[in-house]
Chains A and B, each alone.
Chain A
């Protein structure tokens, strides 16, 4: 596979809540790309203000709505990693939270706008275990909901434990709850389900599970790692690290030498338990260390 961006058109936008939208992306031209597997990601290319309109095949297409893209904050393009949250008939879904300057601009994109997509990239969750525990924290539900959907054909018994700050952050749950044996939700403020953190509830829910899957804030995943090691249950983690390239060049996503872009995002507990940076340190865009 060449590491290059192909153009995709935004086919459909689903508003998940005030801050989160799911974008369904369809290849703009006929291209062949491998069917994404749960846990994989794309590098999303958003072009800048200056390239907002283009004409093709008699139609005017937009990479962004020139009238709404903010020239000041988005004078330059960006290329950011995004977990794949669903896939259907050659369309890739990404679920995006309005969090920083780039995602803020992306939220202004409308159906019919063009974006660049490099990928699918990285490794993926392995379908292991018969009775699995899935632990999602906040936006971590995005790749996990794709995983749960794909698990439905594997005859796996799924228990989902989801942690959010507040009830409005509960996402994508309607798409997947029918595939789950049980769904437990915790909220920091008690506005839904159990008041507290997933780490409070995990030992209560834990039964004869033989595999754990998790994605969410790293502090939460660190708890899950410690728990899985204590119970001697294998676990798979979807990680996030700053990356310039997404293809094993820059090395900024290195976790003790493991490149999250290539060897991840999915790492298992066997590898992760020996990685000292996990749950403690990450590099920023300049490569400076930041404490999590």
Chain B
């Protein structure tokens, strides 16, 4: 019997549980289409704001060691008005397309969310955990690092739009479970986690940070155990409060077994980002590996595997 890997995330149906994470190849219709053709179950766009933004000065990325990628792109994006053209160019795609949005203020999030709802989006990811603080101009905190600020954003968006929203949280907090719960109470329909972990790389001879923005965020295989722990904290906190809201796992996924680990903690589905950088075929590969793993375990669908490891963590 074949394994059924289909997923329903806030009424968005996906053939498999892999989503393209925001920020990787998601800024143009051409590259999004290419990822869709290569087996992603859903696509999340680059985070789009109210107006065009150039991003931070280079270097915007740096790979100090294996399985570690630092970035401080600074959310370069053409603004929602122009980006809607890219979305329209993908109208024939049979893979769900989920816009990721950001703003400087809660109201800006709401404006962008509304525009995408009108353009036909069925689900929106809300990026409250980026950009990396603008170290040169003294901005130190993200929305996602303040429960109150994040709740404000969620409420502002929910007031304006009817479609479900998924809020992407930052790991750079002490109690991510508390923040997740507050966000859900404010009306979030799903949570995705984690965004990058705040990080820095120093050039030892020049004695200075490498990234143009000085500081940035770390992604890649090395963050996976940290991300799993944060996801577990979120799921346990929501469970304890009796909130049945889907959680989407993100961080360091490169294989089918990596996906299984997240599913075992109870996520609805997962996102792949950094690993797409050197392997566009990663989605197909991961899905095949996950299928194989589930067959070996005698599972038929994702509900058979979801949450099986949580019993160790109560």
Contact = CB atoms under 8 A, between A and B. Distances in A.
Interface of A: 2-5, 7, 28-29, 43, 45, 47, 50-51, 54, 56, 61, 63, 76-80, 114, 116, 118, 244-252, 254-259, 277, 283, 285-289
Given A56-B205, A114-B206, A286-B77, A254 B30 contact: yes
B59 interface: yes
Contacts of A252: 27-28, 76
Nearest to B34: A257
B104 to A, nearest CB: 15
Contact of B205 (A2, A4, A28, A255): A28
A248 B281 CA distance: 13
A251 B206 contact: no
Contacts of B274: 249
B245 interface: no
Contacts of B170: none
Mostly helix, strand, loop or mixed at chain A's interface?
loop
Interface stretch (B65-73, B144-152, B256-264): B65-73
Given A5-B210, A116-B203, A254 B57 contact: no
Nearest to B25: A251
A29 B76 CA distance: 34
Contact of B30 (A2, A79, A248, A256): A256
Contacts, number: 150
Interface of B: 23-28, 30-31, 33-34, 46, 52-55, 57-66, 69, 71, 73, 76-79, 82-83, 85, 136, 203, 205-208, 210, 212, 274, 276-278
A1 B219 CA distance: 17
Contacts of B71: 245, 249
Given A45-B59, A247-B277, A287 B76 contact: yes
A192 B203 CA distance: 47
B46 A251 contact: yes
Contacts of A4: 62-64, 210
A63 B57 contact: no
A78 B55 CA distance: 12
B60 A287 contact: no
A222 to B, nearest CB: 18
Contact of B64 (A2, A114, A245): A2
A78 B63 contact: no
A247 B26 CA distance: 14
A5 B205 contact: no
Given A5-B210, A287-B27, A77 B57 contact: yes
A116 B202 CA distance: 13
Contacts of A258: 30, 34
A54 B205 contact: yes
A254 B28 contact: yes
B28 A244 contact: no
Nearest to B51: A286
A251 B59 contact: no
B241 to A, nearest CB: 36
Nearest to A56: B205
Given A244-B55, A244-B61, A259-B31, 9 more contacts: A79-B212, A114-B205, A249-B61, A250-B27, A251-B26, A257-B34, A285-B54, A285-B76, A286-B54
Nearest to B277: A248
Nearest to B278: A248
A43 B205 contact: no
B278 A277 contact: no
B205 A247 contact: no
Contact of B61 (A3, A28, A47): A3
A2 B207 CA distance: 20
Contacts of A28: 205
B206 A54 contact: yes
A200 B90 CA distance: 39
Contact of A45 (B58, B69, B205): B58
24 contacts: A5-B59, A5-B210, A47-B208, A51-B206, A54-B206, A56-B205, A78-B57, A114-B205, A116-B210, A245-B60, A246-B61, A247-B63, A248-B278, A249-B24, A251-B26, A252-B28, A254-B30, A255-B30, A257-B28, A277-B30, A286-B54, A286-B79, A287-B83, A289-B85
Nearest to A28: B205
Q: Which of B52, B65, B206 has the most CB of A within 10 A?
A: B206
A244 B25 contact: no
A259 B34 CA distance: 10
Contact of B82 (A245, A277, A288): A288
A254 B274 CA distance: 17
A287 B213 CA distance: 19
A77 B58 contact: yes
Q: Which of B62, B63, B207, B210 has the most CB of A within 10 A?
A: B62
A54 B60 contact: no
